[in-house]
Structure 1
Amino acid sequence: MKINARQQNILARLRQHEDIQIDTMAEYFQVTTQTVRRDVNQLCKAGYARRIHGGVGLPVQLTNTSYQLRSDLQFDVKDKIAKKVADSIPDGATIMMGIGTTVTRIAYYLKTKNRVITNNLQVVKILESNPEIEVYIAGGLFRSQQQDVVGHSVLTFFNSFEADIGILGCAAVTESHIAIEHETAEAELSQSILHNSRQTWLVADASKWSGSASVKIASLATFDQIYTNQTNLPQDLAITAIE
């Protein structure tokens, strides 16, 4: 399902409020209730939301929902970020690639002779047909919903390498400019990439600033480069703006 701009906005507001009435959304968007219902029905059918009396709410679990659902959200922006990141990676670099759908998109655009170290199984799947790229895969607990591998063995795996560039995403960004994740295991993996990379790049579309999670990864100031379409960020951050 391709999600339109208003539907993206509905999902962002749901993350903030958990449930919203149809009439409230119609007034907010200045459209008819029929238009909102059509958008909501499509979101519910695809599993992004669920109907409640007079309105719409989050699914039972949208705290860390399935890979396919997350990959559809903000797809166009994620794709632009991925292209920009891939264009910035030098030939022959060793790259650590973490979890997340934006990180995964980058794999589609890697064309140079690189070494990739990852626990992201979608990245592995994409790169399997690229003989120019050497791929190292972490072993551990497989999470089918997230399409990744986690656990202490993955931390040990990452700690055995030193990468030129570490690329990671996040579940959300706080008002105090902290990148955060849903689960401790995810945050620890991202921190391991930070500790074992000479440069660290964060990829995060603007919706992350309205997201919710609770486990700290690091301050945005920690990253050498932040690729995002979010505006009005502190000037001391190293931002590569995506339009």
Structure 2
Amino acid sequence: MYAPERQQEILRLAHERGRVDVPSLAAEFQVTPETVRRDLKALDRSGLVRRVHGGAIPAGRLDFEPDLSERESSATEEKDRIAQAAVEELPSEGSVLLDAGSTTARLAAAIPVEADLTVVTHALPLAARLADHPGIDLHVVGGRVRHRTRAAVDAWALRTLAEINADVLFLATNAFSLDGGLTTPDLAEAAVKRALIAAAGGTSPGGWGKVVLLADSTKFGRTHFARFGDLSHVDLLITDTGLSPDDARAIERQGTHVRRV
């Protein structure tokens, strides 16, 4: 089978199954994983599929949401650098909101032992990391727990967050873009993120807190189903050097400072 024929068949399978992975395709077409990766790269460049960790999904599918374990295993070096840079944004004392996410989880693990902070999170994995931290006064937001993110959503979570004024929010996102803003596949997750931004004053003129977005560069230029904010709601974006200087300048023109690490 020639490469164009194989790529056409891969595209058909992606639409039929909703997702394809490299090992299965390699076995199905009796080619090497590297050959499959080249096929997926070619399809991605043509705008026909979107590369995700370990495989691809059809282009334009805005509801795709990888599992937490999959997100934790992607762009690991970049996320580690982002988390280390985020430590510098922790206040010397005061209150911190931590959104659910693989990069914010790395930040939670990197918080210094001597930190004296009040931390609020709706994410069970982050709460577990911080539960034994000696200097942290930990508050866990309740609600229905989504299996994909292990985070609390819906009315209980929203009511609690409405009662909070935080000094710093470390925000996560599935995608961000100049025109599409901040987006995620799930409406309930988007509502909580919107409440987190409001709790840090990110939607208020001259808000009292600081909103720090932690997002690796692979998320830039993408759009998901549920929009929960604009880049103008973000004071600081910490990302990796995969985001080009031109794109960083375009984001800064919207009022968001960008740090590439």
- 1:197-208 matches, cutoff 5 A: 197=200, 198-208=209-219
User: 2:83 aligns to what?
Assistant: 82
Q: After TM superposition, give the deviation of residue 19 of structure 1 in Å.
A: 7.3
Aligned counterparts, 1:110-125, within 5 A: 110-111=111-112, 112-125=115-128
Does 2:170 match 1:172?
A: no
Counterpart position of 2:228: 217
Q: TM-score, normalised by structure 2?
A: 0.70
| Pairing 1:196–2:210 present | no
**Which stretches in structure 1 are left out of the alignment for 5+ residues?**
1-13, 23-32, 41-46, 51-55
Can you give the 5+ residue segments of structure 2 that lack an aligned partner in the other structure?
Answer: 1-13, 23-30, 39-51, 201-208
Instruction: Give CA deviations for 1:5-64 in whole Å, capped at 9, x if unaligned.
Output: xxxxxxxxx9xxx779x9xxxxxxxxxx74624769xxxxxx9556xxxxx657x99811
User: Which secondary structure does the structure 2 equivalent of 1:93 belong to?
Assistant: strand
- Are 1:227 and 2:230 an aligned pair? no
240 and 210 in structure 1: CA distance in 2 versus 1, 3 angstrom threshold: closer
CA contact (8 A) 1:177 1:220 kept: no
Query: In the alignment, is residue 241 of structure 1 matched against residue 259 of structure 2?
Result: yes
Q: Give the match's secondary structure for 1:117.
A: strand
**Larger gyration radius, structure 1 or structure 2:** 2
Task: Return the alpha-carbon distance in structure 1 between the equivalents of residues 34 and 227 of structure 2.
Answer: 35
SS at match of 2:169: strand
3-state secondary structure, aligned to 2:213: strand
Output the CA distance in 1 between the equivalents of 2:53 and 2:220.
Answer: 19
Q: Tell me the distance in 2 between the aligned counterparts of 1:82 and 1:76.
A: 10
- Answer whether contact 1:80 1:242 (CA < 8 A) is retained: no
CA distance 1:153–1:57, shift in 2 (3 Å) = closer
Amino acid at match of 1:130: H
The Cα of 1:206 is off from its aligned counterpart by 0.6
Q: What is the Cα-based RMSD across aligned positions, in Å?
A: 2.9
Task: Tell me the residue number matched to 1:27.
Answer: none
- SS of the counterpart of 2:138? strand
Count of aligned positions: 205
The DSSP-based 3-state class of the residue aligned with 1:99 is coil
CA distance in 1: counterparts of 2:57 and 2:168, whole angstroms = 39
CA contact (8 A) 2:178 2:231 kept: no
* CA drift at 1:129: 2.2
